[in-house]
């Protein structure tokens, strides 16, 4: 991977991570078209550290308030009974527990399905299918959802529902934000509330996965076709810069517009991938054919 290819993939990651169109699918597809093959799950996870750092920067005050109130509840500022420590009197403390609870499914499934995540789940036929299926689900629930609940109305059951939806993004084409937002809309949350929680919920999972792959790559012998460290670093930095701008624009967009445009885009992209596979330009588990 040369510098220009790394910049392109960083742009792709930054542009698509927060939109409900699946950044991992785009890296899988674009990577196969502009390089010698699939950039790999490790490259995807590491570059997501860049975009997730953008989330932390954008939500820094919210994250600070959550962590401060969580600590105060844990140390017993509001009482030493279990209810107080679990945030009965502090909404931000409850949010911290909800994020922790919602992170459990993707951690468990990520560890159990590690082999499939790096191989079978990256089949482009499966990616095209997931792009289509979750486009239809997003469009349906955006249309029929009540969109009235705010994050004040989160409960343990709803937090777990968000988390289960997020875990589906282990398959490229689903979209971490898309699946989580779809679950939020299905549970009656507003578009803004669902998006805010999707971004906050992703922080532990994405950072954990990214640093796990980073340390694993440092300790293991990389595959022969693995992207270079220079290319990975460039892509991660570009993803951070572009991702921060995209967060701002996306949250403004969904305040006044539906997800219809993203639904159409996903279906069109799935169709393009299917055609490229059928004519032999792309191979399901490899790169492109000249």
Chain Cα centroid distance, residue 286: 23
Domain boundaries, the chain: 3-278
**Among 240, 234, 105, which Cα is nearest to 165's?**
105
What is the rounded CA–CA span in Å between residue 5 and residue 25? 17
What is the rounded CA–CA span in Å between residue 50 and residue 9? 12
Q: Could you give the count of Cα atoms lying within 13 Å of 40 in the half-sphere of its Cβ? A: 18
The answer for residues whose C-beta is within 8 angstroms of residue 101's C-beta and 6 or more apart is 156, 159, 160, 163
Encode the chain (290 residues) as per-residue pLDDT tens digits. Answer: 788 988 999 999 999 999 999 998 898 888 888 876 777 778 888 899 999 999 999 999 999 999 999 999 999 999 889 999 999 999 999 999 999 999 999 999 998 998 888 888 989 999 999 999 999 999 999 999 999 999 999 999 999 999 999 999 999 999 999 999 999 999 999 999 999 999 999 999 999 988 988 888 777 766 556 677 888 899 999 999 999 999 999 999 998 899 999 999 999 999 999 999 999 888 888 654 43
């Amino acid at each position: 991977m040369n510098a220009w290819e790394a910049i392109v993939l960083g742009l792709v990651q930054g542009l698509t991570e927060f939109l409900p169109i699946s950044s991992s699918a785009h890296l899988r597809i674009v990577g196969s078209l502009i390089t010698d093959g699939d950039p790999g799950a490790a490259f995807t996870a590491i570059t997501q550290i860049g975009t997730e750092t953008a989330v932390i920067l954008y939500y820094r005050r919210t994250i600070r308030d959550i962590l401060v109130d969580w600590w105060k509840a844990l140390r017993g500022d509001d009482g030493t009974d279990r209810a107080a420590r679990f945030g009965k009197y502090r909404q931000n403390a409850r949010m911290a527990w909800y994020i922790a609870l919602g992170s459990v499914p993707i951690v468990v499934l990520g560890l159990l399905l590690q082999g499939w995540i790096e191989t079978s789940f990256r089949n482009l036929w499966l990616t095209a299918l997931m792009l289509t299926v979750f486009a239809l689900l997003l469009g349906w629930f955006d249309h029929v959802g009540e969109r009235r609940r705010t994050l004040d109305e989160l409960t343990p059951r709803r937090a777990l529902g968000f988390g289960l939806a997020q875990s589906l993004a282990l398959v490229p084409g689903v979209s971490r934000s898309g699946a989580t937002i779809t679950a939020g809309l299905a549970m009656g949350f507003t578009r803004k509330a669902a998006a805010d929680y999707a971004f906050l919920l992703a922080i532990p999972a994405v950072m954990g996965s990214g640093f796990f792959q980073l340390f694993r790559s440092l300790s293991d012998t990389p595959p022969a076709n693995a992207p270079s460290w220079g290319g990975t670093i460039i892509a991660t930095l570009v993803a951070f810069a572009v991702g921060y701008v995209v967060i701002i624009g996306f949250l403004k967009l969904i305040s006044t517009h539906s997800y219809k445009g993203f639904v159409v885009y996903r279906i069109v992209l799935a169709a393009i991938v299917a055609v490229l596979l059928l004519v032999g330009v792309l191979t399901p588990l490899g790169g492109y054919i000249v």
